[in-house]
Amino acid sequence: MNICKVLLPSQSRALALDQRFLMAWDELYSTCPWATVFQSRDFILTWFDCFFEFQPTILTDWDGKTMHGLWILTESKRGFSGPGLDLAEYQVWLSTPQVQQTFVKEALKVFSKIFPKKSIHLKYIPGSTSLEVFNRSSFFKPRTAWLDFQQPIMEVDKATLQNELKKKNRKEKINRLKRLGELQFSQITELEQFKSLIDEMTLQSDFRKGALYNKTFFYDEPHRKDFLLRLFELGLVHVTALSVNGTLIASNAGVMGRNVVHLQGINSHSPFYSKHSPGILHFLMFGIALSDANIPVFDLTPGGADGYKAVLANKNDEAYEFWYGPRAFIISKKISLRLKKWLKLKLQGKMLRNMDLSNFNVLIPQLKSDLTFWINRQFCFLKKERVNFLEKRTPVFEFSSKTDGINGGKLQIPNIEPKQFEISRNKLSDLFLWKQKDSKIPRMKLFQDCLVRIENGQEIYTLISEGYLIGICWWIPSSANKGNIDKTKDHSHFGFPSLTCSYYVGGKEELLMEWINWMLFNKLAQQDPLEKIFLEVTKEQKELSKIVLGSEYWKAIVI
């Protein structure tokens, strides 16, 4: 083995232009037993091109002619990690089988000499990686920390997947979707097709992850789309879509390696079709398509198998999260890992505000969101308030028309058209025009409320004025699950459709009244015979209540 050395960013960038080095990289990648697509030069160099704020640091024994080991890292605020960061499902070094122990040992020692106070974090190392050197070395034990994870795998079995789709509940959902229009599963093979879908795919993904984890990756980092499109051109992204009458209801764009597609890229489904379970239907059809294409493995990503992964997984491997650094850093990391494990066991099954306290992936983002938002609110006394009432959902006021003819079908319906703002129906992208600054709730809670309401069958109407979201209003059909109402109390309007505003900017009540009356008469015009319609207003919406009480079309029936 040649001498291992560290190449700093300027040297690494120059080396990436050396064709001999690139050929040696390709050869090493093809011979390394644990290599994944995330260590290929196409993936890594494309990522550095798209995310130019990151620079490569290379650990290698390349001598200008031969190379037996290669470890590419990039530095961020938290230390060094693998290029791709959270876009790279696996982060690991490459070496030939002959030097698999020697290379990583020498690479870490030279790293410590050059960066004595820095750390390395890899998430995840594949379970197939040779790790014996860490078990045997007294040098590495106090300088490394590990966390092991289940890696659920779907080994594609076409007959099993077809049988899953034939089960009664899945057949019923497929038939219901077909009654809505033409149901089509397709693999996207042309770049222009992928370009036409990627905005909707990422929107659906960001909305759901924003609600669950307060993460909107593609909205915050538009370069992610460019990156996936470039990988698609290189043949490294496998894209499939499920649609009804041309409307995307589920999709997956997974980074593709040798005989495997990884659940890493974009995974989405439309909340408006959630009751039909389009996500799991799409994945079952996707597995059949992999079988037809002779791709034997769908990697469901490390972290355990629950939800839809439990349905799909038929094998479990292992993967590891890895930290390397100074002794003091590793001691603190090991203490935090043990504390987290102890807390998870103690909190198992315990709930707070409908949150599983042991599910840190959801709990921690929620707490961070609430705390950050509370701190920011302390400095917003003089700014406009944006009103919302997601926490207090039981309606205090209910209204029905003062005109008796409304129930007899004799009402002369006026032509009302709001002019001061734009109204859109079921347009998720409008939610990203909401401004958290000086609002009464964090974005995560706003998205959570919208997600629950949409999945319960409520129709969302967004009100946009001067380029930002001023209100979120809802049409709640009589058939919808009114998940925002305490059903233990008597509500005389159950069984009738209703309107409500879950969020609006203070001072915009007159505009909201325009929307309410516009929606009232639009919906009444669609009913045959005309039904009673209710408006739900909570006690905190005082200004809106006054305006509604003064309206010629509504009367208070519960105060």
Q: What does the domain layout of the chain look like in residue ranges? A: 5-151, 157-295, 386-558
| CA gap 340, 263 in Å, rounded | 26
Please state which CATH number belongs to domain 5-151.
3.40.630
> What are the residues whose beta carbons fall under 8 Å from the beta carbon of 122, sequence distance 6 or more?
81, 82, 91, 92, 321, 322
DSSP string, 362-431: HHHHHHHHHHHHHHHHTT-TTSPPEEE-SS--S-SEEEE-S-GGGTTT----------SSEEEES-GGGG
Give the residues across from 188 on adjacent strands.
239
For residue range 26-49, list pLDDT tens digits in order: 999 999 999 999 999 999 999 999
Q: Which residues of the chain have pLDDT under 70?
A: 1, 344, 346-419, 438-439, 481-494, 527-531, 558-559
The pLDDT value given to residue 151:
93
Look up the CATH number of domain 157-295: 3.40.630
Answer for the pair 81, 74: CB distance below 8 angstroms, yes or no: yes
Write the class of the CATH domain 386-558: alpha beta
In this prediction, residue 295 carries a pLDDT of 97
Record the pTM: 0.87
Supply the pLDDT for residue 194: 98
Give me the pLDDT at residue 136, please.
Answer: 78
Phi/psi region, residue 380 (left: phi>0; alpha: psi -120 to 50; beta: rest), is alpha
Does 386-558 match 5-151 at the fold level? yes
Write down the pLDDT at residue 372.
56
Q: For the segment 525-546, what is each residue's pLDDT rounded down to a tens digit? A: 776 555 678 888 877 788 888 8
